[in-house]
Amino acid sequence: MNDGHCMITVHHLNNSRSQRILWLLEELGLKYEIKRYERDAKTMLAPPSLRKVHPLGKSPVIEEDGLTVIESGAIIEHLLDSHGNGQLRPAAGTPERRTSLGRCAQAAWHAGQGAIERTVARVRAAVGT
Ligand SMILES: N[C@@H](CCC(=O)N[C@@H](CS)C(=O)NCC(=O)O)C(=O)O
């Protein structure tokens, strides 16, 4: 249910994967509220207040009807399962879903590669190699 009584709260950190959750919520036309957190300008870490939402202190986190969900992939699964009404991905158990999972795995691999490369580049720049 997302009829205004069951509100989704997104704990959103600036410049983070939380943005993909906001995109999905918009795509699904769901009601939600955003609690904003700002990265430390020097360390780029999330503020300690995010740890009060979940001990890992990472974003995104969503809360809905007493349920706290972390990890952007798990949040996307949860939102599509609970509110997708068949939108944005093929139904479970169909050959189309199987193909799309294959594509997702491939895309995730490439995304992971990109993230690792950026991190390595930042570390190299920091240590001057
Ligand atoms: N695998 C997690 C990654 C969570 C994560 O590392 N979030 C980053 C932003 S993209 C964060 O909160 N960084 C701040 C910090 O580590 O203090 C996901 O996909 O949600």
Whole-number Å distance, alpha carbon 79 to ligand 1 midpoint, is: 19
Alpha helices, DSSP H only, in 2-50? 18-28
Convert the pLDDT of each residue in 84-121 to its tens digit: 999 998 888 999 988 888 888 778 777 777 777 777 77
**Shortest-distance Cα residue to atom 6 of ligand 1:** 58
Return the residue whose CA atom lies nearest to atom 9 of ligand 1: 16
108 and 83 in a common domain: no
Number of domains comprising the chain? 2
- Model pLDDT for residues 39-93, shown as the tens digit of each residue: 999 999 999 999 999 999 999 999 999 999 999 999 999 999 999 999 998 888 9
Residues 3 and 47 in one domain: yes
* pTM beyond 0.85, yes or no: no
Q: Which domain holds residue 98?
A: 90-129
61 and 117, same structural domain?
no
CB 60 within 8 A of CB 21: yes
Together in a domain, 53 and 80: yes
Which CATH number do you get for residue 77? 3.40.30.10
Q: Please give the Cα distance from 24 to 33 (Å, whole number).
A: 14
